[in-house]
Amino acid sequence: MAMLHIVNKSAFGNATLNSCIKTATQGSSILLIEDAVYAAMGNTSMADIVKEAMNKASISVLGPDLAARGMDQSKVIEGISVIGYDGFVDIVAETDNVQSWL
Amino acid sequence: MSEPWEDEEEGAIKKFMFINRKAPYGTIYALESLEVVLISAAFDQDVSLVFSDDGVFQLKKDQDPESIGMKNFSRTYRALEGYDVEKLYVDKESMEERGLTEDDLLVDVEMLSKEELGNLMNEQDVVLSF
Amino acid sequence: MPIEVNGKTLETDEEGYLADLNDWEPAVAEVMAKLEDCELTDEHWEIINYLREYYEEYQIAPAVRVLTKAVGKKMGKDKGNSKYLYGLFPYGPGKQACKYAGLPKPTGCV
């Protein structure tokens, strides 16, 4: 069962993304939206944890939320795909189930 | 001619510190804080702003929230100088954790350690958290 | 109460401020001024245009004190004082001029 995990909380000072990464199983997807998009950047203290998670899950980040926050798409961790709202819909349609980490 | 703001009693100035710890857009805290800051500055109070934890993201350059249907209130931080709000402090450690440097910010700030921020906090009459 | 400008009906709030900033055109200021028996001169327009620039730059309508100081910096001391600005906009430069400029009511303005 392919599972999509959606995270919208900033990873700094909030354990949500960490819990999500620990919970996600091989072959699942993680989508970072809203304040969670900061964790997709390559130069933060979260980068190593996120890169590690990419061994088991495919990670994507919502482009409009990056742009809103002034974060440069070209500095996103390599291997994370930057998607738009259409891509968001595609991922939801492709996966069997969605867990929103509210 | 006397104006309403000139009638205010002298000496009623208090030290207000606003502590901003949330990223913009995901929640309404950043925008609400900014509104209260502008109002207190209009009443000639001694205002200082602290940006710590995810609050440092509020000052990130190049914000463009049109695509998520929000107003770009990051531009308003640059108006604070005109409101005589010139004491902006940023937690150095929070910046480093998030891969940010002073060059990433859209206004001039003073970078302080958590200990220095704590000392500043002790000097305030009112501390408001957002 | 909606206002009629160049054949278009524009929404305003209960105090007469434009509901949608994007609806603004110079004729909006003319219509609003006429409703308050105010004749717009070049001096009025100088302030209205400056307010629009200020909003574009900072995304807020300035408080009167801030406007006064900024006008003084840009247009000189003889204009950067409340006597001059209240002379042009007797209902208050914050409220009246911002309204004509299509801006929201200044933050902190009661």
**Per-residue confidence band for B42, with pLDDT thresholds at 50, 70 and 90:** confident
Task: Give the mean model confidence (pLDDT) for residues B21-25.
Answer: 95
Q: C108: nearest CA in chain B?
A: B39
Query: Does some domain include residue B4?
Result: no
Most confident stretch, B2-11, C9-18, C39-48, C60-69: C39-48
Which C residues in the span 79-108 are in contact with B, Cβ-Cβ below 8 Å?
82-83, 86, 107-108
Contact between C48 and C97 (Cβ < 8 Å): yes
**Per-residue confidence band for B43, with pLDDT thresholds at 50, 70 and 90:** confident
User: What pLDDT does residue B10 have?
Assistant: 60
* A/B Cβ contact: 3+ pairs below 8 Å: yes
Distance between CA A90 and CA B67 in Å, rounded? 19
Please determine, for residue C41, whether its predicted confidence score (pLDDT) is greater than 50.
yes
Task: Give the mean model confidence (pLDDT) for residues B80-109.
Answer: 96
Whole-angstrom CA distances from B128 to B4, B15, B29, B116 are: 26, 11, 12, 18
CATH of the domain at B117: 3.40.1260.10
Distance between CA A86 and CA A91 in Å, rounded? 9
Contact between B80 and B88 (Cβ < 8 Å): yes
What three-state secondary structure class fits B114?
helix
Encode pLDDT of C14-27 as tens digits. Answer: 889 999 989 999 99
Distance between CA B117 and CA B87 in Å, rounded? 12
Which two tokens mark A8? Answer: 């919208």
Nearest Cβ partner for C59 among B39, B42, B76:
B76
What single letter denotes the amino acid at residue B64? D
Query: Does some domain include residue B54?
Result: yes
Its sign, for the CA torsion C62, C63, C66, C67, is positive
Neighbours, chain A (3 or more CB pairs < 8 A): B
Q: Which helix (H) or strand (E) holds C84?
A: helix C82-88
The domain ranges of chain A are 3-101
Contact between A57 and A30 (Cβ < 8 Å): yes
Nearest Cβ partner for B83 among C59, C66, C86:
C66
Q: B39: nearest CA in chain C?
A: C108
User: What pLDDT does residue B9 have?
Assistant: 55
Cβ-based contacts of B26 with chain A (< 8 Å): 8-10, 34-35
- CB-hemisphere CA count at 13 Å for C76? 2
What domains, with CATH codes, occur in chain C?
3-100 (1.10.10.370)
Mean pLDDT, chain C, whole residue set: 92
Q: B5: nearest CA in chain C?
A: C65
Distance between CA C91 and CA C97 in Å, rounded? 9
Its sign, for the CA torsion B95, B96, B97, B103, is positive
Residue A12 Cα to chain centre, angstroms: 14
| Angle at alpha carbon of residue A53, lines to A48 and A56, rounded to 5° | 150
Which of 1.10.10.10, 3.40.50.720, 3.40.1260.10, 3.40.50.970 is the CATH number of A3-101? Answer: 3.40.1260.10
Annotated catalytic residue, options C3, C70, C75, C109: C109
DSSP state of A75: G
User: What pLDDT does residue A19 have?
Assistant: 87
Query: Does some domain include residue B84?
Result: yes
Distance between CA C1 and CA C26 in Å, rounded? 19
Domain that holds residue B71: 14-129
Which two tokens mark A65? Answer: 């939320």
Domains held by chain B: number = 1
Instruction: State yes or no: is C98 an active-site residue.
Output: no
Query: Does some domain include residue B7?
Result: no
% of chain B surpassing 70 pLDDT: 92
Which two tokens mark A25? Answer: 């199983």
Distance between CA A70 and CA C14 in Å, rounded? 36
Residue A60 Cα to chain centre, angstroms: 5
DSSP state of A27: T
What single letter denotes the amino acid at residue C7? G
Encode pLDDT of A7-33 as tens digits. Answer: 999 999 788 899 889 888 899 999 999
Weakly modelled stretches of chain A, pLDDT under 50? none
Cβ-based contacts of B76 with chain C (< 8 Å): 58-60
Query: Does some domain include residue B40?
Result: yes
Whole-angstrom CA distances from A81 to A75, B18, C75 are: 12, 37, 51
Cβ-based contacts of A67 with chain B (< 8 Å): 64-65, 67
- Rounded to 5 degrees, φ, ψ at A13 are 75, 15
- ipTM of the predicted structure? 0.85
Cβ-based contacts of C62 with chain B (< 8 Å): 79, 82
